[in-house]
Amino acid sequence: MNSDQNASASPKLTLNLSLQDRNTFGFDTSAELAYDITAADQIPAVIEQIAEKKLPWRVLGGGSNVILPKVLPGATLLMNIVGQEIIASNADSTLIAVGGGVNWHDFVAWTLDKDLPGLENLALIPGTVGAAPIQNIGAYGVEIGEYIDSVKVFDVKTKAFITLTKDDCHFAYRDSYFKQNPQRFIVTKVVFNIPKQWQGRIHYVDLAKQFFGQSSPSPEEIFLAVCKIRTLKLPDPKVIGNAGSFFQNPVVSSEQYETLLQKHSGLASYPDANGKRKLAAGWLIDQCGFKGRRMSNVGVYEKQALVLVNHGNGTAQDILRLAKCIQDKVQKEFGVSLEIEPNIL
């Protein structure tokens, strides 16, 4: 997989390209200029053209974590760099290099096929590999930052390809150096470090229930269980438009948690690594009566209050209007701020 070394043809350019099938909300969106990026070395020339014309721009992967307007002005770089390969292996771990445009779930399944477990808790998360480190995706007690060795990027500021180590990435809960510096880095390849020593992680409530009485399920069993749980909780974007979890689980101080617990005995929460408490945003929203509620063409998913959905013909404005209603109500009832997880373009 040497796409960043070998010279490649100029990327295909399409005017006014429909992105309805490139965003999981299914919004009727079009890109004024859409560049099909299939190799890393296509990026510098495209960025140079964009700079010369002073165009707004952005990178779009699977469109699973974005809220798109009716028209995306300027340039949209469609991240379609594919390929994955094992590049090193020793007694302790295996290094895998993966193109930024590879489908995330397909990659997780591939690691299990290659007998390289570790990522199974992150099965069925929509989107691409290139987006994974930006958001530091996580689920069921695992964050992707734990398994990243390095990230290959094009630095728009210095106009050079560089490699950022795991430490350089400043991974935190749903956060990273990339997220803190928007529009600076374009992820072309991610190198994962998969330890040879594997231990299944099933302590999260849903998985613990799934494996009650079974102390050591296999990686494949955990993978299938995660897929089953996510399918039951989250709607298929091909059936009803959504971006998965719409709000981050808010983190509060232990003091605020104790105060809330006195008023709300059923408060759903998890301990945080820093001694704080992570509240279940879905529970807060549910308590405010939003689960299953519909507002025009959008609404809150009937099975999971953390998911906002497009019932058809909804727009970014519709979703953001509903989100604001939810944020205001949760703030009023609990004194807690909810942060939107998807990127608003």
Within 10 angstroms of residue 79's Cβ, the number of other Cβ atoms is 26
Instruction: Classify each residue of 330-343 as buried b or exposed e, where b means 16 or more C-beta atoms within 10 Å of its C-beta.
Output: beeebebebebbbb
Contact between residue 122 and residue 225 where contact means Cβ atoms under 8 Å apart = no
SS3 assignment, position 175: strand
Residues paired with residue 271 on neighbouring β-strands, in sequence order: 277
For the chain, percent helix, then strand, then coil, each to nearest 5?
30, 30, 40
Question: Looking at beta carbons, which pairs linking 204-207 to residues 24 or more positions away fall under 8 Å?
Answer: 204/140, 204/141, 206/140, 207/121, 207/140, 207/141
Contact between residue 101 and residue 76 where contact means Cβ atoms under 8 Å apart = no
Residue 319 CB-half CA count within 13 A? 30
Residues involved in catalysis? 174, 245, 341
Q: Which amino acid is at 296?
A: S
* 280: nearest Cα among 308, 247, 321, 234: 247
- Residue found under tokens 């929203």: 285
* Helix residue spans in the chain (DSSP H): 43-53, 104-113, 132-135, 177-180, 205-210, 219-233, 254-263, 281-287, 316-334
